[in-house]
Amino acid sequence: MPAQTITRADLCEAVYQKVGLSRTESAALVELVLKEITDCLERGETVKLSSFGSFVIRKKGERIGRNPKTGKEVPISPRRVMVFKPSAILKQRINSAEGHSGDQS
């Protein structure tokens, strides 16, 4: 069984099925949830979602990188990156389900 890709549409469908809202409103709420999380991260705040995981912003200082094709050294500007730390529960869920599906790697 090939791995499937879940998108916004599937999340909207899940919300639609579980909560008595219209499809349009379900879609708007999925969007709003993502927007709230994004806005928070943009301010540099951590977002902790219990039993799921947390999104953390890390600041990276300037460093020297190398263009792998030309071998030329280029400075990499300081930047902010977002890291997802999965909760123990999420990690456990992923491993307990792995028994049934034969993984290829």
Cα 20 to Cα 32, 91, 93, distances in angstroms: 17, 31, 28
CA distance 96 to 92: 6
Q: Out of 23, 24, 65, 93, name the contact with other proteins by CB under 8 A.
A: 93
Interaction of residue 9 with other proteins, rule CB under 8 A: no
Structure tokens at 31: 């969007």
Site string (40-79) toward other proteins, x via CB under 8 A: xxx--xxxxxxxxx---x------------------xxxx
CA distance 10 to 4: 11
Sites of contact with other proteins (CB under 8 A): 3-8, 10-11, 14-15, 17-19, 21, 26, 29-30, 32-34, 36-38, 40-42, 45-53, 57, 76-84, 86, 90-91, 93-98, 101, 103, 105
